[in-house]
Structure 1
C-alpha cells in the first residue's frame, strides 16, 4: 500500500484523533499526549505545527487516499547539534505490518536531506517497540546502541535504542537492501548480464542464469548490497553462505567509477574471516583480479555457463 506525506490541515483533526485515541499507540510514544485524545486535541496539535518555524520543525501527515493514518516529523536540535534532527512518528494500528512506516520514513528523510541543511537524523524508540525498530532498519537507519534504563514508561524503567541516518556526503553510498528493493536489484542483474555477459554464452547458459534470478528459494538465501546514486540503484552485490559472491553487477552508466570496489569493501565489513570465493564469468575475471582475487582452477562450465573459480583471502580488514 502506497502512502504519501503532506502538510497538516485543520480538517485532519478528526482522523488524527481516531489514530491516537488508542492506549496501544500511546504505549509506544513518549508521555504528554492526553487520553482520551479528542478532535479538539488534534486541532490544537495541527495549529501548533502549522505555526511552528519551518526551519526547525518538520511535521507531516502520513496519508493513504488523502486520509490521515499517522504522523511523522523531526525537530532540529540546538547549539553544536543544530544540524541534527530527532525523528518521531506513529501509525494507526490497522496499518501496521504493511511496510507503510518504512516507506514514510524513507520519503521523509530523503526530503529532509534534499531540502534542508540537516546532516543527521536520529530516533530513540523504546527497546520493546520491535516494529518501530524494524521500520527504521529497513529505511536504512543504523542502530548505534542501547541506552540502558533511559526512560520510565507506564511506571517501569525501560531501555531505549539509538538509531541514526546521516546525509550521504560520499558518492555512491552502499547499504544492505531491504526486501522491497530486491526485485529492482534482480532486474539490474539481468539487464547488465544481457548487455555484457550473455554474448559469451549459449542459449542454455542464458536460460540457466535467468532461472537463477527467478528462483525464489535461492533469492531468499542471499544477502543483497546496493550502491546508490540518489534513488538510483547503480550496482548490486549478492552473497550466499558461507562467503561466496553469487551475483555482482554494476549498471553500465556507472562503470569505472569505483562502485564495484565500494560494494566489495562494504560487504567485507560484515565478515570477520576475510576469505571469499566467486565463480567469475570470463568477462569479469579482470575485475575480480583488480579486487585481489586469484584463480583457483581452470575454466569450467555448468548448465551452459562458463566460469573461472577464484578466491580472495586476507587475514585482516581495515575498518
Structure 2
C-alpha cells in the first residue's frame, strides 16, 4: 500500500446502514454536539470543546490534514438521514513499510449502544483491507474503556497486549493503552 492511494480523494464508504464520508461545514451543529460532550472525552485524547467556533475551525483542519496526507477524518452518517452526522471515524499513522494504519472512532452519546461503532469499524476494515490494500489495521484503547474494547472484539480484532504508561494523551497524561489489530489474513 502506498499512502498516496489513501489520499487520492476523501473516501466514501457506504454500507446498508451507515455512510462514512467527508465532513462538511453543514455538519457543524452535529459535530459540535460530539466534541462538546465531556463524556466522550473520558476515554479519548483531548478535552471537550466549549466554543462552536473552535469546532468550525476543526473542519478546516480536517481538510488541511488530508491534504498533508497526515490523517483522514470521516463523518459517520445514518443512511436513513444522510445529513445527520452521528460520529467521526479516523484513519491515521500510516506505516508504508509495514503496510498498516491506525483507526479511531467517536460517536455522539445518543447513538452509543446501537451497534454503530461496530458497523463503523467493520466498514473501515473492509475499505482499508480490500479497497486500499492495507495488511494491518490497528486501534489503541484506554484499558478501562470496556465498551470500545467490546466493539473491536466483535469486529474480529485481536488484543495484542497492554502498552503500560506508553503514551501521553492530551488531557489525560500518561496512559495505559490496549493494542488491538486486524490482519488481512484474519478475513
TM-score range, shorter chain: 0.7 to 0.9
> With structure 1 as the length reference, what TM-score do the two structures score?
0.48
Q: Do structure 1's residue 50 and structure 2's residue 67 form an aligned pair?
A: no
| Aligned-partner Cα distance in 2 for 1:74–1:117 | 14
Change (3 A) 1:79 1:121: closer
What are the within-5 Å matches in structure 2 for residues 222-301 of structure 1? none
Which of structures 1 and 2 has the bigger CA Rg? 1
Q: 2:166 aligns with which of 145, 150, 155?
A: 150
CA contact 1:16–1:39 (8 Å) conserved in 2: no
Report how far residue 151 of structure 1 moved.
4.0
Helix, strand or coil at the partner of 1:145: strand
Q: Which protein has greater RCO, CA pairs closer than 8 Å, 6+ apart?
A: 2
* Matched residue SS, 1:98: coil
Partner of 2:42: 27
Gaps of 5+ in 1: 174-319
Q: CA deviation at 1:26?
A: 1.0
User: 1:164, 1:140 → 2: CA distance?
Assistant: 9
The structure 1 residue matched to 2:149, chosen from 133, 139, 142, is 133
Q: TM-score, normalised by structure 2?
A: 0.78
* Contact 1:149–1:158 (8 Å) recurs in 2: yes
Name the residue aligned to 1:110: 126
Q: Is the 8 A contact 2:45 2:172 kept in 1?
A: no
* 81, 100, 109: which one aligns with 1:93: 109
Q: Distance in 1 between matches of 2:25 and 2:59?
A: 6
Task: Please name the residue that 2:92 is paired with.
Answer: 75
- Where does residue 61 of structure 1 map in the other structure? 75
Q: Which residue pairs with 2:33 in the alignment?
A: 18
Please give the alpha-carbon distance, in whole angstroms, between the structure 2 residues aligned to 1:119 and 1:84.
6
- Once the two structures are TM-superposed, the CA of residue 156 in structure 1 deviates from its matched residue by 6.6
